[in-house]
């Protein structure tokens, strides 16, 4: 039986359900919208980077880098067994001295640290502030890990605390096992040597560390040792030749000292006998 269709309406068919009707496909418009959105995001990121780049460059502290043979750069080998790297820039200069046997000495210390001797000189007409807290040493052969300078007072306190802890623990062990006479004597001898070394190290750090100061025409030079901890999971056994970069902020710049120990493979310095 034929049923009439209301005027103006088309009958449903399986074709219309299967997508054969002349309907508008929204997918091209969606793709076009996503492409425009992606382009807007990319342009926005580019403009943001371009705006921030000048600020980064503006805030970046300029660096002066030691390079053998360049003006203001010197390298000497002293009969005291130290290499001395000198770097001048305008009115300020730094001499970094490092012991040729420093790598060997690190592992012989109860408190493992790497040390350099810094001498800061000023030849200006006003004044120059010398700070120490942002001095750093980068270990290039050990994942380029960077260590900041140890605070002399905090380090001295740590040395004292470690010495006290060892002394107390050894006393408890000796009291707990009085029958172990031979081991008791060995432990007590070790503790005495440890306490002696700790006291000498504390005295050295207290008297010879580089301290913050102000240089002027009346005081044109300051000098002192700077220590860096080598206690890090990233710092492993020394290579035959190690590479470092010492960075010292001074006079609105960063003085950079890239150096190797030894400077040349197998090089040694003959020390003058005292």
**Whole-number pLDDT of residue 4:** 46
* Residue 196 maps to a domain: yes
| Cα–Cα distance for residue pair 113/56, rounded to 1 Å | 34
pLDDT in single tens digits along all 274 residues of the chain = 444 444 444 443 333 334 444 445 555 566 676 666 666 666 565 555 544 445 555 567 899 999 998 999 999 999 999 999 999 999 999 999 999 999 999 989 988 999 999 999 999 999 999 999 999 999 999 999 999 999 999 999 999 999 999 999 988 988 888 878 788 888 889 999 999 999 999 999 999 999 999 999 999 999 999 999 999 999 999 999 999 999 999 999 999 999 999 988 888 787 777 5
* Residue 31 maps to a domain: no
* Residue 190 maps to a domain: yes
Q: What is the pTM of this model?
A: 0.76
**Whole-number pLDDT of residue 242:** 96
**Whole-number pLDDT of residue 229:** 97
| Cα–Cα distance for residue pair 222/121, rounded to 1 Å | 7
| Cα–Cα distance for residue pair 161/17, rounded to 1 Å | 84
**Number of DSSP helices (H) and strands (E) in the chain, helices first:** 5, 12
How far apart, in Å, are the Cα atoms of 191 and each of 172, 183, 187, 199?
13, 12, 6, 12
* Residue 232 maps to a domain: yes
Q: Do 156 and 274 form a contact (C-beta atoms < 8 A)?
A: no
Secondary structure in 3-state letters for 143-159: CCEEEECCCHHHHHHHH
What are the start-end ranges of the E strands in 58-166? Answer: 63-65, 73-77, 82-89, 92-99, 113-122, 127-130, 136-139, 145-148
* Residue 227 maps to a domain: yes
**Whole-number pLDDT of residue 182:** 81
Q: Which residues contact 11 (CB under 8 A, 6 or more apart)?
A: 5
**Count of domains forming the chain:** 1
* Residue 13 maps to a domain: no
* Residue 11 maps to a domain: no
**Whole-number pLDDT of residue 266:** 81
The range of the structural domain enclosing residue 225 comes to 63-261
If we measure between CA atoms, which residue out of 261, 258, 257 comes closest to residue 238?
A: 261
């Amino acid at each position: 039986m034929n049923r009439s269709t209301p005027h103006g309406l088309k009958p449903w068919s399986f074709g219309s359900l299967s997508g054969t009707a002349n309907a508008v496909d929204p997918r091209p418009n969606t793709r076009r919208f996503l492409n425009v959105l992606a382009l807007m995001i990319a342009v926005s990121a580019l403009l943001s980077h371009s705006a921030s780049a000048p600020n980064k460059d503006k805030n970046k502290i300029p660096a002066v880098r030691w390079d053998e043979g360049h003006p203001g750069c010197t390298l000497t080998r002293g009969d005291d067994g130290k290499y001395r790297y000198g770097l001048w820039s305008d009115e300020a200069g730094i001499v970094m001295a490092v012991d040729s046997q420093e790598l060997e000495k690190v592992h012989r210390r109860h408190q493992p640290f790497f040390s350099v001797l810094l001498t800061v000189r000023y030849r200006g007409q006003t004044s120059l502030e010398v700070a120490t807290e942002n001095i750093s040493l980068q270990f290039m052969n050990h994942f380029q890990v960077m260590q900041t300078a140890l605070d002399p007072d905090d380090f001295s306190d740590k040395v004292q605390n470690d010495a006290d802890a060892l002394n107390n623990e050894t006393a408890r062990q000796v009291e707990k096992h009085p029958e172990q006479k031979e081991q008791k004597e060995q432990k007590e001898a070790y503790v005495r040597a440890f306490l002696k070394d700790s006291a000498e190290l504390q005295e050295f750090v207290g008297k010879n560390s580089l301290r913050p100061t102000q240089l002027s025409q009346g005081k044109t030079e300051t000098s002192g040792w700077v220590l860096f901890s080598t206690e890090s999971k990233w710092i492993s056994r020394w290579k035959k030749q190690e590479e470092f970069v010492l960075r010292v902020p001074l006079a609105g710049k960063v003085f950079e000292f890239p150096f190797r120990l030894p400077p040349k493979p197998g090089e040694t310095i003959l020390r003058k006998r005292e």
